[in-house]
């Protein structure tokens, strides 16, 4: 079996599962944020069960509209706080104590190799970076998980993406996943698992692997996964608060198809409006004037992303007429960036550094675009209206490309900003 099949077999108490089978699976951890959580709480109350199945296996995180920007969002926050207190939810991350849900889940040890994790958020697939099967579900389905700790799933077929070679300096994991999405398409992996493997993977950090798995859903995938290795185990052993069982794909595992990609041939890529698979080399869209640049989100708000951006932004000032927003993905990342002097570099360059939040990424409560404006973003979606006006345009790129473009005032290949 491959990794996805092995995890679902373990979770369902089976020796073996095959693609297409429906399995009743035991959930290791369930996560909800303040956008999806209140709906799940409402549905849970309607079930009529007084207590959740396990108050130590549920994680609640306030991250999308923080601090509250309207009375309505403040009400949603209040619902989450009351439910966490009422149910004695052990892991509740309120404003100022956590950050973007998927980053917090990983760095606080709630994601372990071999786990089945469900989240009421589509980018729960991020957790596959640690060898877990993470998948997004709806709020009412989450209510049933709150009540029973179980869920039925159809075992997905798997696509194997085999990366080989070494990345060039101005190419990032974001460029890899955009390239893959351009090959597979936005619906080419619908309800499939995408397994990232090959010699290149061993060289990538946990954060870079998270970037790959995070955007698996942008191909329609049920999950994105990386087989755990020594780097994975070193990362989780210092965080794990419970036993875990790493699983790996068998050498003779079956896949629906396999893509082989030499990453040394990949150049900086960019997803153009208004689809994530409308991907082109950055060089082909150079000179597009930008109004806003954004670095952050569950895709690219990690410390290595901020370091890469600071290397470029430290060489100049953000172009006049461009506003730049930088959002560390968690409180821990914010503090680390502060200690390393990255925050000072950003502010000196003319950027606005915000609290950890999903706000700008999903057009929640800051960084909104006006009609006709253009934003280059390190986030994961460039849908119409995603960051504000439906008449605005969003380009998706790596933090390296975003930072270089902010200095230039237009979309540019970052190579010229990295050459000595």
Asked if residue 181 is part of any domain, the answer here is yes
pLDDT tens readout for residues 57-91: 999 999 999 999 999 999 999 999 999 999 999 99
- The answer to whether residues 143 and 288 belong to one domain is no
pLDDT of residue 267: 96
Split at pLDDT 50, 70, 90, the class of 287 is confident
Alpha carbons 212 and 208: distance in angstroms, whole number: 7
Number of domains present in the structure of the chain = 2
How far is the C-alpha of 243 from the C-alpha of 184, rounded, in Å?
36
Residue 251 confidence (pLDDT) = 95
- Element containing residue 393 per DSSP (H, E): strand 393-396
Domain that holds residue 90: 3-261
Determine the average pLDDT of the residues in 264-289.
Answer: 96
Mean pLDDT computed over 361-368: 88
Do residues 60 and 178 both lie within one domain? yes
Confidence of residue 419 (pLDDT cuts 50, 70, 90): low
CA distance 27 to 140: 16
Q: Say yes or no to pLDDT of 240 above 90.
A: yes
Helix (H, G, I), strand (E, B) or coil at 326: strand
In this prediction, residue 389 carries a pLDDT of 94
pLDDT given for residue 364 in this prediction: 84
CA distance 170 to 177: 15
Last residue of a domain, one of 210, 231, 261: 261
In a domain, 266, yes or no: no
Rounded (10°) CA dihedral 102, 340, 350, 100: 10
Dihedral (CA of 325, 328, 330, 331) sign: negative
Residues 182 and 298 in one domain: no
**Secondary structure of residue 271 in the 3-state scheme:** strand
pLDDT surpassing 80 at residue 30:
yes
Average pLDDT over residues 87-99: 95
Q: Is residue 372 one of the residues assigned to a domain?
A: yes
Predicted confidence at residue 205, as pLDDT, reads 96
Average confidence (pLDDT) over 3-15: 98
The answer to whether residues 93 and 75 belong to one domain is yes
Examine the fold and report which residue of 210, 232, 261 is the final residue of a domain before the chain moves on.
261
Contact criterion met (CB below 8 Å) for 143 and 155: no
Asked if residue 253 and residue 111 are part of one domain, the reply reads yes
Q: What is the CA angle 101-102-105, rounded to 5?
A: 85
Predicted confidence (pLDDT) at residue 349 exceeds the cutoff of 90: yes
Q: What's the mean pLDDT when you consider all of the chain?
A: 96
Whether 306 and 232 share a structural domain: no
Query: According to the model, what pLDDT value does residue 418 have?
Result: 77
Q: What is the CATH number of the domain that holds 411?
A: 3.30.499.10
pLDDT tens per residue across span 123-182? 999 999 999 999 999 999 999 999 999 999 999 999 999 999 999 989 999 999 999 999
The band of 420, judged by pLDDT with boundaries at 50, 70 and 90, is low
CA of residue 268 relative to chain centroid, distance? 20
**Does 173 lie in the same domain as 251?**
yes
* In a shared domain, residues 104 and 201: yes
Same domain, 226 and 107: yes
237 and 318 part of one domain: no
Q: Does residue 49 share a domain with residue 10?
A: yes
Q: Are residues 256 and 276 in the same domain?
A: no
* pLDDT, mean of residues 201-218: 97
Read off φ and ψ for residue 245, nearest 5 degrees: -125, 100
Average pLDDT of the segment spanning 30-57: 96
Last residue of a domain, one of 231, 261, 291: 261
Asked whether residue 320 carries a pLDDT value surpassing 70, the answer given is yes
């Amino acid at each position: 079996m491959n990794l996805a099949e092995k995890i679902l077999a373990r979770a369902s108490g089976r020796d073996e599962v095959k693609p297409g089978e429906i399995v009743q699976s035991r959930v290791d951890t369930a996560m909800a944020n303040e956008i999806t959580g209140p709906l799940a709480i409402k549905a849970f109350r309607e079930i009529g069960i007084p207590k959740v199945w396990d108050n130590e296996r549920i994680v609640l995180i306030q991250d999308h509209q923080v601090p509250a920007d309207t009375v309505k969002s403040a009400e949603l926050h209040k619902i989450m706080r009351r439910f966490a207190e009422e149910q004695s939810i052990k892991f509740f991350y309120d404003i100022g104590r956590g950050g973007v849900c998927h980053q917090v889940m990983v760095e606080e040890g709630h994601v372990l190799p071999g786990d089945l994790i469900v989240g009421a958020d589509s980018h729960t697939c991020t957790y596959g970076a640690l060898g877990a099967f993470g998948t997004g579900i709806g709020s009412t389905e989450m209510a049933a998980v709150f009540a029973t700790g179980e869920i039925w799933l159809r075992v997905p077929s798997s696509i194997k993406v085999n990366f080989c070679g070494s990345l060039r300096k101005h190419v990032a994991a974001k460029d890899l996943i955009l390239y893959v999405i351009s090959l597979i398409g936005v619906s080419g992996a619908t309800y499939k698992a995408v397994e990232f493997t090959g010699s290149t993977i061993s060289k990538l950090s946990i954060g870079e692997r998270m970037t790959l798995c995070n955007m698996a859903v942008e191909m329609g995938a049920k999950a994105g996964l990386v087989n755990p290795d020594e780097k994975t185990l070193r990362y989780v052993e210092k965080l794990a608060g419970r036993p875990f069982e790493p699983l790996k794909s068998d050498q003779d595992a079956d896949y629906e198809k396999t893509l082989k990609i030499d990453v040394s041939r990949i150049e900086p890529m960019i997803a153009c409006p208004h689809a994530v698979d409308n991907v082109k080399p950055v060089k082909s869209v150079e000179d597009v004037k930008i109004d806003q640049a954004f670095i952050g989100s569950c895709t690219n708000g990690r410390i290595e992303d901020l370091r890469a951006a600071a290397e470029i932004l430290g060489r100049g000032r953000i172009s006049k007429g461009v506003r730049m927003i930088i959002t560390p993905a968690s409180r821990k990342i914010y503090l680390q960036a502060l200690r390393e002097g990255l925050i000072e570099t950003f502010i000196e360059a003319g950027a606005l550094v915000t609290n950890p939040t999903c706000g700008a990424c999903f057009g929640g409560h800051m960084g909104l675009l006006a009609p006709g404006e253009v934003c280059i973003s390190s986030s994961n979606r460039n849908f119409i209206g995603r960051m504000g006006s439906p008449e605005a345009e969003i380009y998706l790129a790596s933090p390296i490309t975003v930072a270089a473009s902010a200095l230039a005032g237009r979309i540019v290949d970052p190579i010229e900003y990295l050459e000595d």
